[in-house]
Structure 1
Amino acid sequence: MKVLILTRYESLGASSRVRFMQYLPLLQEAGIEALICPLLNDGYIQSLYSGSRPLVNILSRYWKRILDLLRIGRFDILWIEKELFPWLPDWIEKMFLQSAPPFILDFDDAIFHNYDQSRSILVNKLLGRKIDSLMKCADLVMAGNPYIATRAIDAGAKKVVVVPTVVDLKRYDITVVHHDKAVVTIGWIGSPSTANYLHIVQEPLRELSTRYSIRCVAIGARREQLLGTPFEPRPWAEKTEASELAALDIGIMPLPDAPWERGKCGYKLIQYMACGLPVVASPVGVNCEIVEHGVNGFLASTDAEWRHAIETLINDADLRSRMGAAGRRKVEHEYSLQVWGDRVAELFLDVAKS
């Protein structure tokens, strides 16, 4: 079987890296030959995180996507990340897909809200139902969480399967022993596009820092984004992210309760838990499924709840250890590549047979 994987990004794009690229060795073992053709390159990601959107780069990459689509007849299945052409109407995509082999749409974000909740009346009118239209045409929709799955079902998709964003357990070290420490490190991992969420917890952490010896780090945020918070920036790199996470004592995921955030897949929580860390998260979307309150971490909405949850973990190294171990077990059973690799390969086989 030959699969053409049409990702949105190259390896610097987290969604493309973890929902597609990390599956390649397992697909190959299952006899599935895959070719990846990204839409946007790493240069685009670097420019985006520095605050710019290079139009020339985007136009050239859209042209390359068109060229890639001219050879879809050589493949048995298309595996598409989100959509073929962001911000273009669905009829353009359908023009290419009407003679395509069976295709799978994969979503790890509620990107339909980019359109149906746009402040632009024109965008809302022209693109508000674009993703629903594409979902209805797909042979399979792989949804990163139930929020996205519900949208696909409501859109009339033929088949919808929830496939969480998972980690490769081989990359995450649980040999680091988090003993009672003089300084407890509280950490977050993400990108500049989500670093603004850290302001949700700046007051509870600032208050705790006056009473306890804590260190707050933000892996992947720019320094200027952290002004007014107790966080210090740490650079992100694929080679070092697992070791950076293993050095933490508590992992956090603050989110506002809004439509876009309800479509998040909680990947950073899964990363923390893979490292054997206890977590504290906002009870938004799939976070409520990943975090078992009082078992592998805490859910917190208000400043008082965030303060109490983190303070409890600061004061109890044994609790951190127990919760971290519970989180690791949950990842091993529910959110690992080792579990989902075979399942995703089976989905391809099912689509090919249908």
Structure 2
Amino acid sequence: MKILFVVPYPVGKAASQRYRVEQWLPVLQEQTINYKLAPFWDVATLDILYKQGYSFQKLFGLVKGMLRRLLLLSRLPAYDYIFIHREATPVGPPWFEWLAAKVFRKKLIFDFDDAIWMPNTTEDNSMASNYKWHHKIAQICNWSYKVSTGNHFLQRYALNHNPNSVYLPTVINTTVNYSRIKDQQAKRVTIGWIGSHSTLLYLKLIEPVLQQLEQNYSFDFIVVADREPDLKLKSLKFIVWSEATEVESLLQFNIGVMPLPDTEWAKGKCAFKALQYMALGIPAVVSEVGANMTAVPDSLAGYSCTTHQEWYEKLELLLQDADLRAKLGRAGKQWVAQAFSMAAHEQTFLELFT
């Protein structure tokens, strides 16, 4: 069997791709299944893609990516399955997917972990969003052999267009990178958040809560991201994200947070931050939105919140009680191993290619 993974980014550069595609590759090797990855963006373009300016370089990188996709068409006959993570091209109609499915008659596996059929315009993507063709997601689902979705909200959408749509959460390798557990006996407690520039704005939802906590408690608030947050917090510490230090950065947290707005777009999020926290024995405090409600057993491995008052009370409780943090942390680690580990979903992944 030969599988072509059509992915947006170079290897090791994006969390979604690392956890939904790249970490499964050793499983394919164990099954003696051959594969190849075909990124759209090159490293040089990705390095400036989300920075201000560089318009010519970004356009040149886009043209190069489109040419790579055109050249890739000639290699499609060699593969049994074409696995498309999110989309084959970042702008324009789904011409690559149509040709692969309808002309080359290939079995498409379409995988996504966000509500990418909805417009989600930010300052970083405002120009590109005009050319995104969000409605193509329904078409790609319809043309696909199978669809793999990161949560049940996404699966319900996919099922409207393809009955062979399965739930495959973004999972954790609990036996390798996430085998350790946080020691909760700390002199100074740390609340933390990890993510990308695209979700930094969600921290504004709990900024007033953290400001109120600062008036009564001494703690650090660590943000691990690819861009420094704009938060008015005395407790703020910023760590630049890197794949090599990701787990070490997370292990600085005593408490992990994942605020989300109650929107349709947010319901497409797959609660992966919370899973990362819990896998390392760090209790998660999350907004009661979408997949968060499934991922975090309330009061067993962390807490779900809907109001500022609830956020304050739950964070205060955990700031004060190391034994409670340790208890919830152990339960969370066990829960992730049981329900959100690679071992728990390996068969679901492999059955995509049957």
Aligned to 1:105: 110
The amino acid across from 2:193 in the alignment is W
Aligned to 2:49: 48
Which stretch shows the higher mean deviation, 4-13 or 339-348?
339-348
- Pairing 1:339–2:340 present: no
The alpha-carbon distance between structure 1 residues 340 and 107, as it changes in their structure 2 partners (threshold 3 A), is: same
Cα distance per residue 1:109-139 (max 9 Å; x no partner) = 11100389x999x969x93531111101101
The amino acid across from 1:111 in the alignment is I
Q: Percent identity?
A: 33
SS at match of 1:257: coil
* Consecutive aligned runs of 4 or more in structure 1 exceeding 6 Å deviation: none
CA RMSD of aligned residues (A): 2.3
In structure 1, how many angstroms separate the alpha carbons of the residues matched to 2:130 and 2:240? 35
The alpha-carbon distance between structure 1 residues 271 and 42, as it changes in their structure 2 partners (threshold 3 A), is: farther
Cα distance per residue 1:177-214 (max 9 Å; x no partner) = 211x3311000000111111111111111111121111
Aligned to 1:254: 259
In structure 1, how many angstroms separate the alpha carbons of the residues matched to 2:134 and 2:325? 44
1:4-23 alignment runs, 5 A limit = 4-10=4-10, 11-23=12-24
The normalised TM-score by structure 2 is 0.91
Cα distance per residue 1:205-237 (max 9 Å; x no partner) = 1111121111001001523x3242443211111
In structure 2, how many angstroms separate the alpha carbons of the residues matched to 1:309 and 1:325? 18
Q: Give 1:134's match in structure 2, choosing from 114, 127, 140.
A: 140
Aligned to 1:143: 149
Q: Could you tell me how far 1:260 is from its partner in structure 2?
A: 1.4
1:1-354 alignment runs, 5 A limit = 1-10=1-10, 11-51=12-52, 54-91=58-95, 93-98=97-102, 99-114=104-119, 127-155=133-161, 157-169=162-174, 170-179=176-185, 181-223=186-228, 225-229=229-233, 230-348=235-353, 350=354
Q: Which runs of 5+ in 1 are unaligned?
A: none
Paired residues, number: 344
SS at match of 1:141: strand
In structure 2, how many angstroms separate the alpha carbons of the residues matched to 1:34 and 1:251? 36
In structure 2, how many angstroms separate the alpha carbons of the residues matched to 1:244 and 1:175? 13
Q: Could you tell me how far 1:336 is from its partner in structure 2?
A: 1.2
Q: Which runs of 5+ in 2 are unaligned?
A: none
SS at match of 2:139: helix
The alpha-carbon distance between structure 1 residues 247 and 173, as it changes in their structure 2 partners (threshold 3 A), is: farther
The alpha-carbon distance between structure 1 residues 262 and 233, as it changes in their structure 2 partners (threshold 3 A), is: same
Cα distance per residue 1:315-340 (max 9 Å; x no partner) = 11111111111110111011112322
Q: Could you tell me how far 1:35 is from its partner in structure 2?
A: 0.6
